[in-house]
Amino acid sequence: MRFAETVQDLLKGSSLTRSAFNRTLPRISALSGRILDVGGTRVPMASYYRYLAIDDVRMVEVLNIVDSVGADIVADAATIPCETARYDAAICFNVLEHVARPQHVLSEVRRVIKTDGRFILMVPFLHRVHGDPDDYFRYTESGLRVLFTDAGFSIRSILVLGKGPLTAALAQWQTLVPGWMSLPFFAICYALDGWYIRLRPKQAQNWPLGYLVEARAI
């Protein structure tokens, strides 16, 4: 989480979690070939497309259980109606917490992407309960490793989104007010978190707003 970039996003009304997610996406190398966006939207176009490198966005097929978001495939992610190994890659952002049986979804994503295909997933952690229509789970890094391994993936990286305990606390308060109103508090929390993490570097991983996972199908 970089200070100047986050300030820019807060001024635009973004949440700390959204800013951390979007600004971390460029660390993922470009996706190519046919791509499945699990739970994405075309109407409106999801904001993460401005940050995630995709060789040809026309090769993205959007799957959503709701038919009013411009999805190419209207279906449950636990039963994707397409042939095995259709896709070169898949993305799934802010969806898995809303799924009652996440292992079924991950196994189904593994089925529809090719061996050695890439899967990029983001889940929130320190975040209020939010239904869409339901909210079932929060995942730790250890839990994500188990789910991905059991579904047939090899994890390349798990990136922690966030800064420290005070920034995480501010993110909870921020759900009550517009992003720009938290700017003065963010400057203080960011500075104090930097000091705290320098003193206790092992604590840097313990206050995640969310996780960004990159894995490959095996």
**For residues 121-135, average pLDDT:** 93
CA pair distance 135, 179, nearest whole angstrom: 23
- Note the pLDDT of residue 133: 86
Residues 6+ apart with CB under 8 A from 191: none
**Residue 88 to residue 204: CA distance in whole angstroms:** 34
For residue 155, list its beta bridge partners.
215
Over range 61-78, report the average pLDDT: 95
What is the tens place of the pLDDT at every residue in 96-105? 999 999 999 9
Q: How far apart are CA 124 and CA 128, in angstroms?
A: 9
pLDDT band of 177, cuts 50, 70, 90: confident
Closest CA to 33 of 1, 71, 61: 61
Report which of 90, 91, 132 is spatially closest to residue 113, judged by C-alpha positions. Answer: 90
Interhelix angle 183-199/165-174, rounded to 10 degrees, is 160
Question: Would you give the distance in Å from CA 141 to the centre of its chain?
Answer: 13
Q: Answer yes or no: is pLDDT of 176 > 90.
A: no
State the average pLDDT for the chain: 95
Per-residue confidence (pLDDT) for residue 131, from 0 to 100: 84
Q: Answer yes or no: are the C-beta atoms of 171 and 17 closer than 8 Å.
A: yes
For the residues 157-169, what does the mean pLDDT come to? 97
Closest CA to 123 of 95, 165, 143: 95
Q: Are 4 and 23 in contact (CB under 8 A)?
A: no
Q: Which helix (H) or strand (E) holds 115?
A: strand 113-124
Rounded to two decimals, the pTM is 0.94
What are the structure tokens assigned to 12, written together? 């635009």
CATH class of the domain at 3-217: alpha beta
> Could you state, in order of their start, the residue ranges of all structural domains in the chain?
3-217
Nearest to residue 183, comparing CAs of 193, 195, 174? 174
Q: How many residues does the chain have?
A: 218
**CA dihedral (35, 40, 43, 46) positive or negative:** negative
Question: How far is residue 185's CA from residue 30's CA, in Å, rounded to a whole number?
Answer: 35
Residue 181 binned pLDDT confidence (cut-offs 50, 70, 90): confident
What pLDDT is stored for residue 116 in this prediction? 98
